[in-house]
Amino acid sequence: MPRRRVAVTGIGLVTPLGVGVERNWEAVLAGESGVGPVTLFDASRLTSRIAGEVSGFRPEEFIGEDDLNGM
């Protein structure tokens, strides 16, 4: 498979606080934390069950279908 070049432009955030600069800034100002119990998989066998999960992110809303097919 040939290597693909990528150019990242603009600003955007995908964090445990939310998606987008505005949502993240609101969460920071409100003193919210993105850290909590792991919920996206069974972490019962892990030493730590606390993480900063990113939930609700749908890459297809930001990335074209052709780009997703190459992932």
The 10s digit of each residue's pLDDT in 5-36 is 877 776 688 999 999 889 999 999 999 999 99
Please, which pLDDT band fits residue 59 given cuts at 50, 70 and 90?
Answer: confident
For residue 20, the 8-state DSSP code is S
Distance separating alpha carbons of residues 11 and 24, to the nearest angstrom: 12
pTM attached to this predicted model: 0.66
Distance separating alpha carbons of residues 1 and 12, to the nearest angstrom: 29
Q: Are strands 14-15 and 18-19 parallel, antiparallel or unpaired?
A: antiparallel
What is the arithmetic mean of pLDDT over 57-69?
76
